[in-house]
Amino acid sequence: MAIYYASKAFVLSISEALSEEVRGTGLKVSCLCPGPTVSKSREHAGTGKTRISQAGTPMSSMSVARMGYDAWQGNKRGEVTGMRNRVTASLAPFLPRTMLLRIVRNLQSPR
């Protein structure tokens, strides 16, 4: 999961930077940050067996894709899907890093 989360952080960071670099050119860059989503890759990765997957109902792939497309159309720099995911993401900057890492580890652990 460490590599997965690091790659997500990189994609968010580069998307935000590119969005700023192309501002005013007519190009759009938007980063989709989905929470738990129903998909075949979720089944293959085994993430349906973690604590976080049991905390609520995952969003449908179509809903997530629609939100991402609408965000891109609206030239939003980023879109965090799902209320639970949005709340969690908004709290992260206010938590001590050690605490945040332990919470994430616990949520991503098998049930």
Amino acid at 98: T
Residues 14 and 60 sit within 8 Å (Cβ to Cβ): no
Q: What is the pLDDT of residue 42?
A: 62
Give 17-63 pLDDT, tens digit per residue: 999 999 999 999 999 999 888 877 766 666 666 666 666 778 899 99
pLDDT in tens, 55-102: 677 889 999 999 999 999 999 999 999 888 888 889 999 999 999 999
Whole-structure pTM value? 0.79
Domain ranges of the chain: 27-108
* Residues 6 or more apart in contact with residue 45 via CB below 8 angstroms: none
Q: How many helices (H) and strands (E) does the chain have?
A: 5, 2
pLDDT of residue 43: 67
Q: Please give the biggest Cα pair distance in the chain.
A: 48
Q: What pLDDT does 83 receive?
A: 87
